[in-house]
Amino acid sequence: MALLPILRYPDPRLHTVAALVSRVDDRIRKLIKDMADTMYAAPGVGLAATQVDIHRRVIIVDISETRDQLNVFINPEITARSGAADCEEGCLSVPGIFEKVKRAERIKLRALDAHGRSFELAAAGMLAVCIQHEIDHLEGKVFVEYLSRLKQQRILAKFKKQQRRVM
């Protein structure tokens, strides 16, 4: 089992736009395995490769109570959005902060699986919210960027203070 260090906001590497995966090979499958170990240990319901400083378009999500329904999305693309959800979100890169964010309630998505096969999925509710949150990470966007300027300033100050304490 390999646990990968998770980048913490406001680390500038969280703003990197991830590159497409050109070939789904054993290196990508090892990354997925290590990301899953890291997400389950955290614990979290999702993780993007960006958060472990690997700038490739790979995300994983498991919203099951039993923690045994891992969804892997490589090169994910949202092809349709509908409805509106106002869901409380957290982020393993911004620990301890939970805030409501407006997202699409339902999405359709195209991606590759861990064998490089293309598939399509319709997702709603928490699964849809979590997938949108993780795809934002691949675009270099952290959920706090949806919040008011004041909230962002407070969160930034809190994390900069924490950073100074560990240095």
Question: Which residue ranges make up the site for ligand K1U (CB under 6 A)?
Answer: 43-48, 89-93, 129-130, 133-134
Q: Which amino acid appears at position 15 of this protein?
A: H
Check residue 109 for interaction with Zn ion (CB under 5 A): no
Q: Which residue is nearest to ligand K1U (CB)?
A: 44
Q: Are 24 and 74 in contact (CB under 8 A)?
A: yes
Closest CB 148 distance from Zn ion, rounded Å: 19
Closest CB 47 distance from Zn ion, rounded Å: 8
Greatest extent of the chain over all pairs of C-alpha atoms, in Å: 46
User: Where is 36: in which H helix or E strand?
Assistant: helix 26-41
The catalytic position among 120, 134, 139, 145 is: 134
Question: 145 an active-site residue?
Answer: no
Backbone angles phi, psi at 131, to 5 degrees: -65, -40
Check residue 91 for interaction with Zn ion (CB under 5 A): yes
- Which residues, at least 6 apart from 80, have a Cβ–Cβ distance to it below 8 Å? 107, 108
Nearer to ligand K1U, 28 or 130 (CB): 130
Q: Which residues are catalytic?
A: 134
- What residues make contact with Zn ion under the rule CB under 5 A? 91
